[in-house]
């Protein structure tokens, strides 16, 4: 196994699902399953012991749920990337996981290639959401522009526009193409947005928008 392989801890109480993940990782040369936990308390202990690069975290587990386990793990090991892999797609679960510090959220029904892509993404520092979750978030924030002006007066009109596109999970390159501006200009605007909102990344920016009450209805 290459020393560059992504070290993964699986926190999942379903034996059958863990078996499937084990087979999936065996076929991925850049991934190594370093540990398995069957409940939240085991996840915390094994995270401390193995210090994996990525934890695949189920939400509904015995002893301690995935949200609280995520919160406790990141309190002492903030460098670990936690990717929620669950069957729950309701807005409360999604945003609770993000608030706890999860870097991504993928549904268990996702294709194997999507799960692998998500693992690689969060390991590289990206905020990753499965297609179904991303689409719901796009819908939720579709009415954001007017609210952004009143909720974030510290942002310029252009920054508010870019914040909306960030909430729609568009990359810097996609934003540059849509607004017909240079990628470097987009990066500068994004940096200003993060500074003004006092957030570290796109996931936190989305959380700020949500907490400000932007959008209407359910995602």
Q: Which SS3 state, helix, strand or coil, does residue 106 take?
A: strand
Q: Compute the average pLDDT of residues 24-45.
A: 96
Choose among 3, 82, 4, 7: nearest CA to 43. 82
Q: Are 10 and 35 in contact (CB under 8 A)?
A: yes
pLDDT value, residue 170? 80
Q: What does the pLDDT read at residue 218?
A: 37
Nearest alpha carbon to residue 167 among 150, 185, 190:
190
Helix-strand-coil split of the chain, %, nearest 5 = 55, 15, 30
User: 147-151: long-range contacts at Cβ-Cβ below 8 A with a sequence spacing of 24 or more?
Assistant: 147/212, 147/213, 147/214, 147/215, 148/209, 148/214, 151/209, 151/212, 151/213, 151/214
Q: How confident is the model at residue 180 (pLDDT cuts 50, 70, 90)?
A: confident
Which residues on neighbouring strands pair with residue 56, listed in sequence order?
Answer: 10, 83
Ordered by where they begin, the domains of the chain are 6-128 (3.40.50.2300), 137-211 (1.10.10.10)
pTM over 0.85: no
Encode pLDDT of 89-130 as tens digits: 877 788 788 888 999 999 998 899 999 999 999 999 888 887
Res 183 pLDDT > 70 = yes
103: its two tokens: 């870097």
60-73 pLDDT, tens digit each: 999 999 999 999 99
Dihedral over Cα of 54, 19, 136, 120: its sign: positive
In contact, 190 and 172? CB cutoff 8 Å: yes
Alpha-carbon distance 131 to 122, whole Å?
15
3-state secondary structure of 77: coil
Can you name the residues that pair with 36 across neighbouring β-strands? 10
How far from each other are the two terminal CA atoms of the chain, in whole angstroms? 41
Q: Is the pLDDT of residue 147 over 80?
A: no
Q: Given a cut of 80, is residue 133 above it in pLDDT?
A: no
What confidence category does residue 85 fall into, taking pLDDT thresholds of 50, 70 and 90? very high
Say if residue 166's pLDDT is above 90.
no
- Where is pLDDT greater, at 171 or 53? 53
For residues 210-219, b (16+ Cβ closer than 10 Å) or e, as one string? beeebbeeeb
Q: Which of 142, 121, 132, 131 lies closest to 202 in space, CA to CA? A: 121
Overall average pLDDT of the 182-207 stretch: 90
* Residue 86 near residue 56, CB atoms below 8 Å: no
pLDDT-derived band at 216, boundaries 50, 70, 90? very low
């Amino acid at each position: 196994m290459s020393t560059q392989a992504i070290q993964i801890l699986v926190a999942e109480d379903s034996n059958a699902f863990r078996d499937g993940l084990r087979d999936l990782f065996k076929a991925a040369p850049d991934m190594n399953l370093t540990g398995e936990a069957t409940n939240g308390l085991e996840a915390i202990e094994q995270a401390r012991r193995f210090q994996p690069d990525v934890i695949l975290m189920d939400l509904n587990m015995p002893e301690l749920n995935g949200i609280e386990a995520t919160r406790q793990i990141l309190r002492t090991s903030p460098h670990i990337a936690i990717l929620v892999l669950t069957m729950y797609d309701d807005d409360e679960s999604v945003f609770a996981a993000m608030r706890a510090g999860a870097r991504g959220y993928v549904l268990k029904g996702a294709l194997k290639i999507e799960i692998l892509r998500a693992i690689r993404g969060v390991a590289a520092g990206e905020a990753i959401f499965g297609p179904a979750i991303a689409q719901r978030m796009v819908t939720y924030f579709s009415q954001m522009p007017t609210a952004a002006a009143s909720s974030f007066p510290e942002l310029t009109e252009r920054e508010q526009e870019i914040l909306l596109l960030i909430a729609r999970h568009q990359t810097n390159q996609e934003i540059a193409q849509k607004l017909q501006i240079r990628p470097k200009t987009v990066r500068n605007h994004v940096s200003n947005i993060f500074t003004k909102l006092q957030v570290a990344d796109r996931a936190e920016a989305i959380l700020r928008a949500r907490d400000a009450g932007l959008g209407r209805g359910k995602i």
